[in-house]
């Protein structure tokens, strides 16, 4: 992992060379992406953006494409919500028989793309346009190695195009289920360990004045062994569109999850996204949002509940490119045991983006002596008529509040749980879709109760 084409990068380049050819724009896109990846290689701890993320264990493993798996009855059920349109992917491949994509909307599996159909042009236009491996920031356009890998190697994915003016009332759930087939023993220690890799890809284009809700779930059986999921998602909100997005991450405790998300928000459009991380051993989410039209608005919120010796890293960059754009970020973290978290948020205000209103908040609750929280909220501002604030706190539970509850006869453990729940609940309550909110509440509760050691050691 030393230089551009180190041994780890070489293994992934091998994966690419084993791919069979395909035609059309995808081929060109993939070639461009793998070229960028090859030139840049994997980031190291000397790379400022990756300083605190230890990729060592991931890069030592031998990657192999996740095996095909036919969904067994009830396998996906714990992660599905009622009253939703569904697209289910298992190990990165579309499970058509279990899915029920919405009508009036083009929702196709990318593997079927050459067959075309309506809106194929829109998909070709937008896929990879923003996230084909570039972190697409005008100031420092660096290659995001994992986004580039995804573009080069994704086998399948979902493309959802919501036509102009269409309001999709029921949420569209996209479930990415990982079912590792290698036994636990295979994914153990040593340089020769093998790791199953999948590269889920999502594209959502919300046409002018359309409205939709997309629920993404990255899940696995909690008892599953190690695997590596490397998702990339692109969101395009055309003028006046309202897109709500929730990303629930409940990967297995030994999983590596390194995801990249990119959103472009045009004039007067709204992108409201929440990211909730409950699972995974090493989790990193990189999010880039471009406010690319006057009056565009975006919210990027997140919650991470981390125990064991797990690691969660959220990096995001919000670029205000046009005047009168607003952005809000609220990230909260609960850390227990030997868990570590990183929050790195950057608000970048271009000179043209006068009247920007941006707010960024990160709050961390440390429950254990061995937990470690890193928080780097950053502002880069090149316009003068703006309001930008950020705040960050790290601390433990308020002893006075705990005392207040205990005076009223509530046992310490219970009082403790109540306060932690109250701390995190704000982000769960944000979900307006009932079944999702209930599910999140349940997950929050169980991760807090049984959560002491929710993850296994890595």
Interaction residues for other proteins, span 296-355 (CB under 8 A): 351, 354
Provide the minimum distance between the beta carbon of 61 and other proteins in the complex, in angstroms, as a whole number.
28
Provide the minimum distance between the beta carbon of 385 and other proteins in the complex, in angstroms, as a whole number.
6
Show the tokens assigned to 9.
């990068």
Provide the minimum distance between the beta carbon of 316 and other proteins in the complex, in angstroms, as a whole number.
15
From CA 412, how far away is CA 83, in angstroms rounded? 40
Distant-in-sequence, close-in-space partners of 190: CB < 8 Å, separation ≥ 6? none
Provide the minimum distance between the beta carbon of 362 and other proteins in the complex, in angstroms, as a whole number.
9
Binding mask 107-146 for other proteins (x = CB under 8 A): ----------------------------------------
Provide the minimum distance between the beta carbon of 366 and other proteins in the complex, in angstroms, as a whole number.
4
Binding mask 348-387 for other proteins (x = CB under 8 A): ---x--x---------x-xxxxxxxxxxxxxxxxxxxxxx
Point out which residues pair with 362 in neighbouring strands: 331, 392
Binding mask 1-40 for other proteins (x = CB under 8 A): ----------------------------------------
CB 71 within 8 A of CB 98: yes
Strand-pair category, 157-162 with 106-109: antiparallel
Nearer to other proteins, 255 or 305 (CB): 305
Provide the minimum distance between the beta carbon of 382 and other proteins in the complex, in angstroms, as a whole number.
5
Nearer to other proteins, 93 or 317 (CB): 317
Nearer to other proteins, 267 or 363 (CB): 363
From CA 458, how far away is CA 454, in angstroms rounded? 12
CB 225 within 8 A of CB 94: no
396 binds other proteins (CB under 8 A): yes
Provide the minimum distance between the beta carbon of 171 and other proteins in the complex, in angstroms, as a whole number.
36
Interaction residues for other proteins, span 209-268 (CB under 8 A): none
Nearer to other proteins, 389 or 457 (CB): 389
Q: Which DSSP string corresponds to 104-171?
A: SSEEEEGGGGGG--TTHHHHHHHTTTTTSSB---SSS--B-HHHHHHHHH---EEEEEEPTT-B--S-
Task: Give how many residues touch other proteins by CB under 8 A.
Answer: 35
E strand or H helix at 12, and its extent? helix 7-17
Nearer to other proteins, 193 or 376 (CB): 376
From CA 282, how far away is CA 308, in angstroms rounded? 11
Show the tokens assigned to 341.
């978290």
CB 320 within 8 A of CB 291: yes
From CA 217, how far away is CA 315, in angstroms rounded? 19
CB 154 within 8 A of CB 26: no
Angle between helices 412-429 and 399-407 (to 10 degrees): 120
Nearer to other proteins, 196 or 286 (CB): 286
Binding mask 48-87 for other proteins (x = CB under 8 A): x---------------------------------------
From CA 389, how far away is CA 349, in angstroms rounded? 12
Nearer to other proteins, 70 or 351 (CB): 351
Among 44, 54, 209, 392, binds other proteins (CB under 8 A): 392
Point out which residues pair with 143 in neighbouring strands: 134
Q: Which residues bind other proteins (CB under 8 A)?
A: 48, 351, 354, 364, 366-396
């Amino acid at each position: 992992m030393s230089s551009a084409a180190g041994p780890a990068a070489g293994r992934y380049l091998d994966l690419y060379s084993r791919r069979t050819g395909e035609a059309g724009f995808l081929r060109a896109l993939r070639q461009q992406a793998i070229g960028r990846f090859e030139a840049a290689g994997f980031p190291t701890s000397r790379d400022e953006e990756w300083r605190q993320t230890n990729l060592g264990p991931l890069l030592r493993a031998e990657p192999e494409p996740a095996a095909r798996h036919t969904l067994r009855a009830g396998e996906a059920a714990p992660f599905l919500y009622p009253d939703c349109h569904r697209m289910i992917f298992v190990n990165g491949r579309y499970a058509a028989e279990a899915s029920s994509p919405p009508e009036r909307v083009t929702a196709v599996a990318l593997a079927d793309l050459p067959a075309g159909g309506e809106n194929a042009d829109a998909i070709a236009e937008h896929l990879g346009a923003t996230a084909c491996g570039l972190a697409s920031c005008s100031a420092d356009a660096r290659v995001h190695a994992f986004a580039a890998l995804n573009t080069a190697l994704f086998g399948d994915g979902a493309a959802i195009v919501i036509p102009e003016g269409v309001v999709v009332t029921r949420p569209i759930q996209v479930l990415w289920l990982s079912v590792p087939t290698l036994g636990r023993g295979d994914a153990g220690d040593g340089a020769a360990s093998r790791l199953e890799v999948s590269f889920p890809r999502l594209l959502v284009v919300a046409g002018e004045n359309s409205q939709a809700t997309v629920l993404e779930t990255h899940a696995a059986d909690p008892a599953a062994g190690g695997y590596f999921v490397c998702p990339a998602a692109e969101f395009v909100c055309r003028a006046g569109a309202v897109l709500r997005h929730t990303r629930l991450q409940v990967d297995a405790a030994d999983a590596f999850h390194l995801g990249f998300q990119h959103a472009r928000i045009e004039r007067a459009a709204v992108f409201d996204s929440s990211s909730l991380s409950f699972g995974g051993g090493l989790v990193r989410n990189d999010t880039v949002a471009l406010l690319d039209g006057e009056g565009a608005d975006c919210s990027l919120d997140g919650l991470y509940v981390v125990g064991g010796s797990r690691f969660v890293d959220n990096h995001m960059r919000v670029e205000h490119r046009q005047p009168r754009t607003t952005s809000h970020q609220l990230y909260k973290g609960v850390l227990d045991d030997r868990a570590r978290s990183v929050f790195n948020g950057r608000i970048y205000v271009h000179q043209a983006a006068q009247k920007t209103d941006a707010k960024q908040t990160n709050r961390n609750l440390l429950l254990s002596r061995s937990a470690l929280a890193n928080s780097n909220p950053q502002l880069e501002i090149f316009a003068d008529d703006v309001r930008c604030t950020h705040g960050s706190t790290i601390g433990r539970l308020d002893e006075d509040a705990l005392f207040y509850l205990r005076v009223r006869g509530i046992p310490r453990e219970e009082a403790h749980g109540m306060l932690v729940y109250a701390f995190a609940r704000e982000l769960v309550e944000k979900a307006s879709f009932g079944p999702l909110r209930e599910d999140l509440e349940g997950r929050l509760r169980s991760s807090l109760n049984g959560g002491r050691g929710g993850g296994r050691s890595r």
